[in-house]
Amino acid sequence: MNRRQVRGSQRISKSHGKRSENKKILIVTEGVKTEPQYFEGLAAHLNAQAVHVISLKPVGTGRDPMSVVREADSQREKERRNGDAFDSVWCVVDVDEHATLPAACTLAAREKMGLAISSPCFEIWLLWHYEDRLAWSTGGALAQRLKKFGVLGKNLPANFPYDRFVDAKQRAEKCAVIELKHKPPNPSSSVSELVSELELASKGKSPQSR
Give the pLDDT confidence score for residue 1 in this predicted structure.
37
Number of domains in the chain: 1
Peptide bond connecting 65 to the previous residue in cis, omega within 30 degrees of 0: no
Residue 207 lies in a domain: no
Q: What's the rounded Cα separation, in Å, for the pair 90 and 114?
A: 4
Give the C-alpha separation, 53 to 75, whole Å: 21
Secondary structure element (H or E) that encloses residue 117, with its range: strand 114-119
pLDDT above 70: percentage of residues in the chain? 83
Reported as a single tens digit per residue, the pLDDT across 126-164 is 999 999 999 999 999 999 999 999 999 999 999 999 999
pLDDT of 172 > 90? The answer is: yes
Residue 208 lies in a domain: no
**For all residues of the chain together, what is the average pLDDT?**
85
In a domain, 58, yes or no: yes
Torsion angle of the four alpha carbons 111, 42, 129, 191, in this order, in degrees rounded to the nearest 10:
0
For the whole model, what pTM was predicted? 0.86
Among 7-11, 79-83, 171-175, where is mean pLDDT lowest? 7-11
- pLDDT on residue 21: 64
**Exposed, middle or buried by CB within 10 Å (0-12, 13-18, 19+), for 131?**
exposed
Confidence (pLDDT) at 58: 74
Give the DSSP H or E segment for 74. helix 65-81
Q: Which tens digits make up the pLDDT trace of 9-65?
A: 344 334 444 445 678 899 999 988 999 999 999 999 988 433 333 456 777 777 889
29 lies in which domain range?
A: 5-202
